[in-house]
C-alpha cells in the first residue's frame, strides 16, 4: 500500500483501514500504516488503535498512542492514563501524557497533575506542557509552582521562567548602548584592577585567550590552582560587566609542561575542562564548543618516537586544535530578545553574509607576531565578531596581548576595550591598532595607564 492509498482509506473511513491496522498483521505493515496516517479526519474511529496500544513492539505501541492522541477524544482519557502509568516503555508513557495534554480538556487536569510525580523528568515536562494551557486555574498554578524545588534542572528552569522571573521581556533602551569612556580604549594594567572601576553590564561580547598557565614566559603562577583561581576571578568580573544574555568566548587548550628530566614525565593540564565548572557556577550558560584546527605542520610533532617503536600506551598525538568555548550570560530571555533590542538598520548591517562556517571545526592557520609569542589569527577574531556581535557593540579582551581582537573589532565597526598587563605587549597594541581615524572618529583610540584610567572614571562619577 502507498501513502496516497492510506490517505484515501482514512478519509473514506468505511472500515477498510481496519484490515491494515489488524494486530495480526506483520509489524512492517502496521508500522508503515500507522506512520503514514498523518492528520486524521474528525470522525475517525479510534477503535483500531486501542488493541495496538498493547502490541509487543514498542514502536507500534508508540505510533498507536500517537494516533489516538491526534483524535483529542476524551473517551480515551482513561485508556491513555493507564498506558501512561503502566507501559514498560518511557517513550510510550511520554506519548500518552502528550496525547492527554493535547486534549486541552479540564478533565485531563487530575491525570496530568498526577504525572508531575513521575520519576522520569521527561514525563514531568510533558505533563507541565499540558498543564500550562490552563494558566488561569489556581490548582494547576499551585501544583506547578511546587516544582521550583524539583531535582531536575530543566524542570526548575521552566517553572522559574513561568512563575518566578519578574524581569520583563520588553525593550531595554540601554541594551545596545555602552559607556562612551570605554569605547576604543586600551589600558595597561592588571585586568582585575581595571575591571574594579568598570560598571556592571557595560559590554556586549568578550573573546579572549588567557595566559597558558606557565607554558609561556609571560605568566608565572605558584600553582595550577592559583592560576585557575585567578581566571575564575577574572571571568566573574567579565560576567558582571557583560550585558544580559550576551556571549563570552574562551579560547584555550590543554597545555603541556615539559618533563624535568628523562626520569620524569611531562604533565598535561586540561585547562578548558577545569575552567568550565567555574564558569557554569558563576552564571555562564554553556552554548557551544568550536574547535579551531591548525595545519599539522604548525604544531610540535609529538609522535616521532612512537612512529619508531610503535608500542601501545606510549602513543601521543600531535595537538593541532584549540577550543573556543562559547558561553552566554544566563538569562530566561531568548536570543531573539537580544536581537530585538537593535534597530532594523543595525540588524541589517550586521548580517553575516556570504559563506558561513557550517560546522564547529574552523580551519585557520596560526599567526606569528614579531613581539608576542601567542597571538590570535585576525581571521579567528573576525569570525567571532561576525557571529556573536552587532555593529557598534562594545567588545572586550581582558588579555589583550598584541591587540588583535581590538584591531579586528575596529575593522568591523565594533568598539574595542582591552587590558594588558605587560608594558612590552601594551606597546605592541599601540603599534598594532594605532590611531584610528577611519571608524567613528567621535571615539579615537585611547591608551591609558591604570592610573590614568582610574582618573577618567573618577571624573565621570
Ligand X SMILES: C[S@@+](CC[C@H](N)C(=O)[O-])C[C@H]1O[C@@H](n2cnc3c(N)ncnc32)[C@H](O)[C@@H]1O
Binding residues vs ligand X (CB under 6 A): 190-191, 209, 211, 218-219, 372, 374-376, 399, 401-402, 404, 419-422, 425
Cα–Cα distance measured from residue 424 to residue 188, given in angstroms and rounded to the nearest whole number? 10
Number of H helices, E strands in the chain: 21, 11
Q: What is the 3-state secondary structure (H, E, C) of 113-135?
A: HHHCCCCCHHHHHHHHHHHCCCC
Exposed/middle/buried for 226, CB within 10 Å: 0-12, 13-18, 19+? exposed
Q: Min. distance of Cβ 390 from ligand X in angstroms?
A: 22
Helical axes 224-241 vs 271-281, angle rounded to 10°? 40
Q: Min. distance of Cβ 399 from ligand X in angstroms?
A: 3
Q: Min. distance of Cβ 398 from ligand X in angstroms?
A: 6
Pairing of strands 242-252, 321-329: antiparallel
Strand partners, 15: none
Nearer to ligand X, 31 or 218 (CB): 218
User: By the 8 A CB rule, do 286 and 325 touch?
Assistant: yes
Nearer to ligand X, 367 or 440 (CB): 367
Pairing of strands 203-208, 394-397: parallel
Q: Min. distance of Cβ 375 from ligand X in angstroms?
A: 4
Beta-carbon-side half-sphere exposure of residue 115 (alpha carbons within 13 Å): 33
Nearer to ligand X, 157 or 422 (CB): 422
Cα–Cα distance measured from residue 251 to residue 253, given in angstroms and rounded to the nearest whole number? 7
Q: Min. distance of Cβ 425 from ligand X in angstroms?
A: 4
Strand partners, 325: 250, 289
Nearer to ligand X, 118 or 397 (CB): 397
Q: Min. distance of Cβ 313 from ligand X in angstroms?
A: 32
Instruction: Give Cβ neighbours of residue 41 (< 8 Å, ≥ 6 apart).
Output: 10, 11, 13
Q: Min. distance of Cβ 218 from ligand X in angstroms?
A: 4
Strand partners, 207: 249
Nearer to ligand X, 350 or 404 (CB): 404
Nearer to ligand X, 101 or 401 (CB): 401
Closest CB to ligand X: residue number? 401
Nearer to ligand X, 81 or 322 (CB): 322
Amino acid at each position: 500500500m502507498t501513502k496516497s492509498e492510506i490517505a484515501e482509506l482514512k478519509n473514506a473511513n468505511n472500515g477498510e483501514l481496519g484490515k491494515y491496522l489488524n494486530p495480526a498483521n506483520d509489524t512492517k505493515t502496521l508500522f508503515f500504516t500507522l506512520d503514514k496516517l498523518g492528520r486524521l479526519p474528525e470522525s475517525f474511529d479510534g477503535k483500531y488503535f486501542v488493541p495496538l496500544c498493547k502490541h509487543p513492539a514498542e514502536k507500534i505501541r508508540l505510533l498507536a498512542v500517537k494516533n489516538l492522541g491526534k483524535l483529542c477524544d476524551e473517551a480515551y482519557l482513561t485508556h491513555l492514563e493507564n498506558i501512561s502509568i503502566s507501559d514498560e516503555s518511557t517513550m510510550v508513557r511520554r506519548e500518552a501524557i502528550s496525547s492527554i495534554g493535547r486534549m486541552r480538556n479540564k478533565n485531563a487536569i487530575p491525570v496530568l497533575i498526577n504525572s508531575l510525580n513521575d520519576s522520569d523528568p521527561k514525563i514531568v515536562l510533558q505533563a507541565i506542557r499540558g498543564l500550562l494551557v490552563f494558566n488561569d486555574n489556581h490548582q494547576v498554578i499551585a501544583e506547578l509552582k511546587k516544582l521550583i524545588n524539583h531535582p531536575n534542572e530543566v524542570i526548575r528552569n521552566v517553572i522559574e521562567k513561568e512563575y518566578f522571573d519578574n524581569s520583563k521581556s520588553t525593550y531595554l533602551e540601554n541594551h545596545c548602548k555602552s559607556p562612551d569612556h570605554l569605547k576604543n580604549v586600551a589600558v595597561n594594567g592588571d585586568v582585575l584592577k581595571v575591571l574594579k572601576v568598570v560598571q556592571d553590564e557595560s559590554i556586549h561580547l568578550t573573546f579572549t585567550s588567557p595566559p597558558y598557565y606557565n607554558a609561556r614566559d609571560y605568566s608565572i603562577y605558584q600553582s595550577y590552582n592559583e592560576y585557575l583561581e585567578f581566571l575564575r576571578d577574572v571571568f566573574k568580573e567579565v560576567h558582571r560587566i557583560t550585558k544580559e544574555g550576551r556571549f563570552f568566548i574562551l579560547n584555550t587548550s590543554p597545555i603541556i609542561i615539559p618533563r624535568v628530566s628523562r626520569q620524569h614525565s611531562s604533565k598535561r593540564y586540561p585547562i578548558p575542562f577545569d575552567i568550565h565548572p567555574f564558569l557554569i557556577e558563576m552564571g555562564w550558560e554553556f552554548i557551544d564548543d568550536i574547535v579551531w584546527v591548525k595545519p599539522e605542520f604548525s604544531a610540535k610533532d609529538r609522535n616521532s618516537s612512537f612512529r619508531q617503536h610503535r608500542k601501545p600506551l606510549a602513543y601521543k598525538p600531535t595537538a593541532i586544535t584549540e577550543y573556543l568555548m562559547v558561553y552566554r550570560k544566563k538569562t530566561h530571555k531568548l536570543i531573539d530578545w537580544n536581537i530585538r533590542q537593535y534597530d532594523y538598520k543595525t540588524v541589517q548591517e550586521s548580517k553575516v553574509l556570504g559563506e558561513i562556517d557550517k560546522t564547529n571545526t574552523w580551519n585557520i592557520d596560526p599567526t606569528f607576531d614579531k613581539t608576542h609569542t601567542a597571538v590570535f589569527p585576525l581571521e579567528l577574531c573576525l569570525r567571532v565578531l561576525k557571529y556573536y556581535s552587532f555593529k557598534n557593540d562594545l567588545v572586550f579582551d581582558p588579555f589583550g596581548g598584541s591587540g588583535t581582537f581590538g584591531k579586528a573589532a575596529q575593522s568591523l565597526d565594533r568598539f574595542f576595550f582591552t587590558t594588558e598587563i605587560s608594558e612590552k605587549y601594551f606597546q605592541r597594541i599601540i603599534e598594532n591598532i594605532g590611531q584610528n581615524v577611519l571608524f567613528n572618529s567621535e571615539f579615537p583610540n585611547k591608551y591609558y595607564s591604570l592610573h590614568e584610567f582610574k582618573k577618567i572614571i573618577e571624573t565621570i562619577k
